[in-house]
Amino acid sequence: MKMWIKLGFRNLWKNRRRSLFTIAAISFGFAAVNLLGGFTHYVFRGLEDSYVYAYGNGHMSIFKQGYLKEGALDPTSYLLDASTLRTIIKRCDEDARIVVATPQLNINGLVSNGNSSSIMIAEGRVPEDAQLIRSHGHGFIGKLKMFRGAELSSGDEGGVGMTTGLGEKLGLGLDSNAIVMAATVDGFMNALDANVVQVLDAPMDILDDMLMAVPLSFAQDLYETQSADRINVLLSDPDDKDRVMAELARDLQQAGLSVEIHPWDELRPSYLRIKNMFDVIFSFVFAIVLIIVFLSIVNTVGMAVLERTREIGTLRSLGCKRHDVIAMFATEAGLLALFGSILGAMVTFACWAYVTWSQPTWTPPNIPKEVPLEIHLVPWLFVASLCCLMILASTAALVPARRAARMNIIDALGHT
């Protein structure tokens, strides 16, 4: 093996121009895969963080059993009552892995400027908890504000937020007064005065002319209830998600509660769709890179076999076995992949450094704001692409190397 590495290295050096072309092709492929992978990682991270942190939904949400399926038709029958909320929050507070568990009540009804009204849906959250969740976001997400104006506050129950579109529709802006109307859980009409303290960026276009953000107590007062429809749970380490979920489910069931717990990615169907799309794009690029590397290795090793036919004959006459001939060329190809990957890692790193330094911005599909565009360095992807490329290169070398190994010795020696 040492011998094949030595021979491979020297032969690559001897034909350094050709080797360099192959190495460049491999490094290009390596960089393409790792840059796209790094960008994909950033996009997924952004999707996760914007939903979990920026919009304040946490890593998982706890609902009354059946809320997601039947709750749409009859939401008020699927609320978590005050004592249930207390039990759940108490259980969560005892768990050191949970940063916060906070109730949320979504309401719908009408909002009016005094003359005309429009339908609205509102997310009622504990404002301080929502801010706490937001502040746990990584990097720019932690600083991202999805609104203009002031923070909502428990102390100012009537201070609400509304989306730009809804505000324009009703001629309402910051500091305007509005009336919010809805049916209580018992079916009576109720109305509360509100003051617009913030203008929101809607997470989706279709919500832009109907979404509002209100303090939880406002939502509960309007509905005349102490209940909430969910509890959002934020973890300090997202990797604990599955374990915490299983343990919560077990404990809450033992406590006699009939609840269902869903992780954030199940509650955000667009995440899985976007993830699938990126997975397809990534697989496509990866396949193209593998094909390019395969072909260039077959070509390079094929030329080496042709040029070194006499050398192969000599080695065989000295007692080199067929599989040794194959090992020799496979090692050489493996070295090409190794150098290509090292160069590719350097190219990836350089691009990463450039992007990090120049801080370009863009508006991603999931956040209605200009945010920094990043490329993440994904160590496991570096290692995986190195291994993939080395295995692929050695395999590609088998095609010409087997031909070399099977050659008749005297024919090989007679070759000039």
Residues that bind another protein (CB under 8 A): 3, 7, 10-11, 14, 310-311, 313-324, 409-410, 413
**Minimum gap (Å) between residue 321 Cβ and another protein:** 5
CB-based contact 126:232 (threshold 8 Å): no
Distance, in Å, from the CA atom of 134 to the CA atom of 50, rounded to the nearest integer, reads: 9
Residue number, 77 or 317, with CB nearest to another protein: 317
Which token pair is 56? 């304040």
**Minimum gap (Å) between residue 331 Cβ and another protein:** 14
Annotate the chain with three-state secondary structure.
CHHHHHHHHHHHHHCHHHHHHHHHHHHHHHHHHHHHHHHHHHHHHHHHHHHHHHCCCCCEEEEECCHHHHCCCCHHHHCECHHHHHHHHHHHHCCCCEEEEEEEEEEEEEEECCCCEEEEEEEEECHHHHHHHHHCCCHHHHHCCCEEECCCECCECCEEEEEHHHHHHHCCCCCCEEEEEEECCCCCEEEEEEEEEEEECCCCHHHCCCEEEEEHHHHHHHHCCCCECEEEEEECCHHHHHHHHHHHHHHHHHCCCCEEEEEHHHHCHHHHHHHHHHHHHHHHHHHHHHHHHHHHHHHHHHHHHHHCHHHHHHHHHCCCCHHHHHHHHHHHHHHHHHHHHHHHHHHHHHHHHHHHHHCCEECCCCCCCCEECCCCCCHHHHHHHHHHHHHHHHHHHHHHHHHHHHCCHHHHHHCC
**Minimum gap (Å) between residue 11 Cβ and another protein:** 6
Residue number, 82 or 413, with CB nearest to another protein: 413
**Minimum gap (Å) between residue 317 Cβ and another protein:** 5
**Minimum gap (Å) between residue 395 Cβ and another protein:** 22
CB-based contact 59:234 (threshold 8 Å): yes
Residue number, 169 or 322, with CB nearest to another protein: 322
**Minimum gap (Å) between residue 408 Cβ and another protein:** 8
Residue number, 135 or 408, with CB nearest to another protein: 408
Contacts of 238 (CB under 8 A, 6+ apart): 48, 52, 59
**Minimum gap (Å) between residue 3 Cβ and another protein:** 5
Place of tokens 């809804």: 166
**Minimum gap (Å) between residue 308 Cβ and another protein:** 9
**Minimum gap (Å) between residue 336 Cβ and another protein:** 16
CB-based contact 413:334 (threshold 8 Å): no
Residue number, 319 or 360, with CB nearest to another protein: 319
**Minimum gap (Å) between residue 6 Cβ and another protein:** 8
